């Protein structure tokens, strides 16, 4: 099976097949599996001698996948990207360890970046048969070493690349993901988008457009918050302009199965569903309707607002806005950010007919906040207790925000950015290029630890982390997966780092208060993509970096902007039985039939 949207199939380009595998097909070190290009000469065996191409310029350079990455065994594809080295036209992609020896020959399938530039690099995708063989043979086992060998067409000499190690988790990744993808409508890029989804238990290699605007609707469907059972969601729609302000959004309660929306009135903020069900949710006061810190409860069936939950009694919350809530699966606690909303921003020029007039930004949107702190509030029988601050910023230029609680309730991942006074982009929680991921245990409480392996480096806009719904086990430790958006380079395909690329900000934002909705989308704007990393919860509890290097989720449209990932236990479809439904013809992937003959989630 295959869950990838690939641009170039090396197998198709080279007639990829398995007719040349060794006779017993064991694929061990003594019995390699070799898959040749049609008409291509076979590379000499590893260590069999032959002439080594002279000079390091001949060596291929492996660019992707990342070294030491841990992958779900059911991801079913990964693109190997490499620079070919001088004079090389034939290549062998090798996967080796004590139990695996797979050698896949290919010519160079040239990579063109998403900005239309030739990169000089080559790409190779494992087909599903190759992936399943390598991944399933090594699920939960030792790393597989990936290398590339290159040679001229006559194999007169052979050059070798650097090595990367790839490991596979012991258990398949289950659950579904909903995410926002930019779209082009009426020829205009960057001003509209829709919600797409992907079921990790589904063999279909492409995501499903779930809520996407038509070409003549003049709409953008963006904000979305899913109940963990996947049956309900809160969505925000906007006109298809280039701003991200909440003031002109309309929010709805949306039934995923029936596709029926219910208008929610004036609440326009971040939402969190109660525990693992879909009975109710809370939202932040996203548009600043109140001057006190509060959350607004909603009925998950009617979409009607309940009595506002005031948190003003907590010491330290006075004058701050409550935002970014996340509700623990067992319903016992809500985690949130307390932030100072950025407003009253003025520039001497940039507005008016010729851009010579002053501009003013006075919105109260809590999508733009600075100097955030993280808080926890207990919930008992629907009653909220007194919040407690759990992460205090070290100074006025530190911003802690976007908390997400692990499915077992033990650990929190969040964003931290440390900026420079007077530099709005470095202080704002929105699209902050300095955003990095941190983690901490909350039961028991621990100190924040930078996720250095997942972060990769500075200035990559690692933002909006979200846990997948299930805890797994790997090498005797508890393992979870976290998705986040990032403006790092995806190998050679997506180039974001270095000149001339930069983080863009929409009009009607503190960084661009012009309000010019006709401003064209700059082609050098960074292109966020969704990345995923494995997290070792027991390593976190022991006080060390629990993260593995992150990898690009392969079902995304590589030409689009992708972010705001939200996870559910399973994707609601009409072809299988959902949570709470009679088992009937069979429960959806990731669910089990309980003794009362209803489908329920498997929570570890």
Q: What is the mean pLDDT of residues 200-218?
A: 74
Give CA–CA dist 131/137, Å, rounded.
Answer: 10
Per the domain annotation, does 1 fall within a domain?
no
Per the domain annotation, does 318 fall within a domain?
yes
Q: What is the mean pLDDT of residues 110-117?
A: 94
Of residues 265 and 407, more confidently modeled: 407
pLDDT of amino acid 54: 84
Q: What are 381-416's pLDDT values in tens digits?
A: 889 999 999 999 999 999 999 999 999 999 999 999
Per the domain annotation, does 3 fall within a domain?
no
Asked if 149 and 214 sit in the same domain, the reply is no
| Beta carbons of 404 and 414 less than 8 angstroms apart | yes
pLDDT of amino acid 7: 22
Asked if 362 and 460 sit in the same domain, the reply is yes
Of residues 244 and 131, more confidently modeled: 131
Number of domains in the chain: 3
Asked if 130 and 261 sit in the same domain, the reply is no
We report the CATH number of the domain holding residue 252 as 2.120.10.30
Q: Are strands 33-35 and 101-107 parallel, antiparallel or unpaired?
A: parallel
The mean pLDDT of the chain is 87
Residue 23's contacts (CB-CB under 8 Å, 6 or more residues apart) are none
Q: Within 10 A of 384 (CB to CB), how many other CB atoms are there?
A: 17
Q: Report the residue count for the chain.
A: 604
Residue 339's contacts (CB-CB under 8 Å, 6 or more residues apart) are 320, 321, 323, 366, 369, 370, 371, 372, 373, 399, 401, 429
pLDDT of amino acid 189: 54
Q: What is the mean pLDDT of residues 245-272?
A: 81
pLDDT of amino acid 459: 96
Residue 100's contacts (CB-CB under 8 Å, 6 or more residues apart) are 27, 28, 134, 137, 138, 144
Asked if 393 and 504 sit in the same domain, the reply is yes
Range of the domain at 580: 575-604
Of 131, 148, 168, the last residue of a domain is: 168
We report the CATH number of the domain holding residue 22 as 2.60.40.2470
Per the domain annotation, does 2 fall within a domain?
no
pLDDT of amino acid 590: 45
Asked if 148 and 229 sit in the same domain, the reply is no
Give CA–CA dist 230/224, Å, rounded.
Answer: 12
pTM: 0.89
Distance in Å from the first CA to the final CA of the chain: 26
Asked if 329 and 353 sit in the same domain, the reply is yes
Per the domain annotation, does 330 fall within a domain?
yes
Residue 429's contacts (CB-CB under 8 Å, 6 or more residues apart) are 337, 339, 367, 368, 369, 370, 372, 399, 401, 402, 415, 417, 435
pLDDT of amino acid 191: 58
Per the domain annotation, does 278 fall within a domain?
yes
Asked if 345 and 481 sit in the same domain, the reply is yes
Of 147, 168, 189, the last residue of a domain is: 168
| Model confidence at 296: pLDDT above 50 | yes
| Model confidence at 6: pLDDT above 80 | no
Q: What are 449-483's pLDDT values in tens digits?
A: 999 999 999 999 999 999 999 999 999 999 999 99
Of 135, 168, 201, the last residue of a domain is: 168
Quick one: pLDDT band at residue 264, thresholds 50, 70, 90? Answer: confident
Asked if 160 and 218 sit in the same domain, the reply is no
Lowest mean pLDDT, pick from 43-52, 271-280, 347-356, 525-534: 43-52
Helix, strand, or coil (residue 363): coil
Per the domain annotation, does 5 fall within a domain?
no
Give CA–CA dist 425/428, Å, rounded.
Answer: 5
Could you tell me how far CA 3 lies from the centroid of its own chain? 15
Q: What are 61-85's pLDDT values in tens digits?
A: 999 999 999 999 999 889 999 999 9
Q: What are 267-282's pLDDT values in tens digits?
A: 789 999 998 889 999 9
Asked if 482 and 590 sit in the same domain, the reply is no
Q: What are 413-426's pLDDT values in tens digits?
A: 999 999 999 999 99
| Model confidence at 210: pLDDT above 90 | no
Residue 367's contacts (CB-CB under 8 Å, 6 or more residues apart) are 244, 246, 286, 429, 430
Give the CA dihedral 257, 263, 266, 267, nearest 10 degrees.
-10
Asked if 318 and 453 sit in the same domain, the reply is yes
Helix, strand, or coil (residue 578): coil
Asked if 153 and 208 sit in the same domain, the reply is no
Give CA–CA dist 186/349, Å, rounded.
Answer: 31
Per the domain annotation, does 369 fall within a domain?
yes
pLDDT of amino acid 507: 85
Q: What is the mean pLDDT of residues 246-273?
A: 83
Asked if 341 and 298 sit in the same domain, the reply is yes
């Amino acid at each position: 099976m295959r869950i990838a949207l690939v641009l170039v199939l090396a197998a198709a380009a080279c007639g990829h097949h398995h007719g040349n595998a060794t006779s017993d097909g064991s694929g061990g070190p003594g019995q390699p599996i070799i898959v040749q290009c049609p008409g291509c000469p076979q590379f000499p065996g590893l260590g069999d001698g032959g002439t080594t191409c002279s000079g390091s310029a001949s060596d291929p350079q492996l660019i992707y996948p990342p070294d030491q990455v841990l992958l779900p065994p059911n991801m079913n594809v990964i693109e190997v990207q490499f620079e070919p080295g001088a004079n090389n036209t034939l290549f062998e992609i090798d996967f080796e360890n004590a139990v695996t020896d797979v050698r896949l020959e290919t010519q160079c399938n040239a990579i063109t970046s998403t900005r239309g530039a030739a990169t000089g690099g080559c790409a190779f995708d494992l087909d599903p048969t190759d992936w399943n063989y390598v991944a399933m043979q090594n699920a939960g086992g030792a790393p597989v070493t990936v290398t590339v060998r290159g040679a001229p067409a006559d194999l007169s000499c052979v050059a070798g690349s650097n090595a990367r190690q790839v490991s596979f988790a012991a258990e398949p990744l289950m659950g579904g993901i909903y995410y926002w993808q930019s779209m082009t409508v009426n020829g205009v890029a960057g001003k509209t988008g829709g919600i797409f989804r992907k079921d990790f238990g589904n063999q279909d290699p492409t995501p499903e457009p779930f809520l996407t605007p038509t070409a003549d609707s003049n709409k953008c469907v963006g904000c979305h918050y899913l109940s963990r059972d996947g049956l309900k969601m809160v969505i925000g729609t906007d006109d298809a302009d280039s701003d991200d302000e909440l003031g002109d959004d309309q929010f709805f309660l949306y039934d995923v199965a029936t596709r029926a929306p219910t208008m929610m009135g004036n609440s326009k903020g971040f939402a969190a569903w109660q525990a693992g069900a879909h009975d109710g949710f809370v939202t932040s006061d996203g548009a600043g309707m109140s001057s006190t810190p509060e959350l607004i409860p909603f009925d998950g069936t009617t979409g009607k607002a309940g009595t506002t939950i005031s948190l003003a009694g907590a010491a330290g919350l006075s004058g701050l806005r409550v935002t970014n809530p996340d509700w623990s699966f067992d319903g016992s606690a809500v985690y949130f950010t307390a932030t100072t909303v950025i407003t009253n921003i003025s520039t001497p020029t940039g507005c008016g007919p010729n851009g010579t007039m002053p501009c003013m930004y006075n919105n109260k949107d809590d999508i733009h906040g600075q100097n955030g702190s993280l808080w926890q509030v207990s919930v008992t029988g629907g009653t909220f207790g007194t919040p407690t601050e759990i992460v205090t910023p070290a100074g006025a230029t530190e911003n802690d925000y976007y908390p997400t609680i692990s499915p077992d309730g033990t650990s929190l991942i969040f964003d931290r950015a440390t900026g420079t006074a007077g530099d709005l982009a470095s202080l704002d929680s929105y699209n902050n290029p300095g955003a990095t991921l941190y983690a901490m245990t909350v039961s028991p409480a621990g100190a924040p630890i930078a996720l250095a392996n997942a972060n990769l480096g500075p200035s990559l806009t690692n933002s909006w982390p979200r846990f997948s719904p299930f805890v797994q086990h790997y090498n005797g430790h508890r393992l979870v997966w976290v998705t986040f958006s990032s403006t790092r380079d995806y190998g050679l395909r997506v180039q974001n780092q270095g000149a001339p690329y930069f983080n863009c900000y929409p009009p009607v934002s503190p960084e661009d208060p012009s309000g010019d909705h006709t401003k064209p989308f700059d082609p050098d704007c960074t292109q966020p993509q969704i990345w995923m990393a494995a997290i070792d919860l027991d390593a976190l509890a022991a006080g060390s970096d629990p993260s593995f290097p992150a990898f690009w989720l392969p079902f995304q449209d590589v030409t689009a902007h992708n972010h705001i990932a939200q996870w559910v236990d399973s994707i609601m479809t009409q072809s299988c039985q959902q949570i709470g439904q009679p088992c009937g013809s069979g429960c959806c992937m990731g669910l089990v039939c309980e003794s009362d003959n209803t489908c329920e989630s498997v929570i570890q």
